[in-house]
Amino acid sequence: MLDRRSCLSFLGLAGFAGFLAGCQSLDAGGLVASSAPPEISGPAASAIAGDMVSRLAEQVGPGAATIRLKSDGSPFGDALETSLKTWGYAVVTDQKSADKKLTPLAYVLDSYDGHILARISTTTVELGRAYDITPTGATPASPLSVMRRG
Closest by alpha carbon to 149, among 77, 61, 80, 59?
59
H-helix or E-strand containing 48?
helix 42-60
- In degrees and rounded to multiples of 5, residue 111 shows phi and psi of -105, 145
Confidence of residue 28 (pLDDT cuts 50, 70, 90): very low
Q: Is the pLDDT of residue 43 over 70?
A: yes
Taking only the tens place, the pLDDT of each residue in 68-122 is 998 788 899 999 999 999 999 999 987 666 666 888 999 999 988 889 999 999 9
The pLDDT assigned to 11 comes to 44
Residue 42: partners with Cβ closer than 8 Å, 6 or more residues away: 75, 79
20-34, 74-88, 136-150: the lowest-pLDDT one: 20-34
The pLDDT value given to residue 54: 96
pLDDT of residue 74: 86
Helix 75-86 to helix 42-60 angle (10° resolution) is 40
CA atoms of 71 and 73, how far apart (whole Å) = 5
For residue 27, pLDDT beyond 80: no
- Checking if the pLDDT of 25 tops 90, the result is no
Question: What is the C-alpha separation between 80 and 86, in angstroms, rounded?
Answer: 10
CA contacts within 13 A on the Cβ side of 118: 30
- Whole-structure pTM over 0.85, yes or no? no
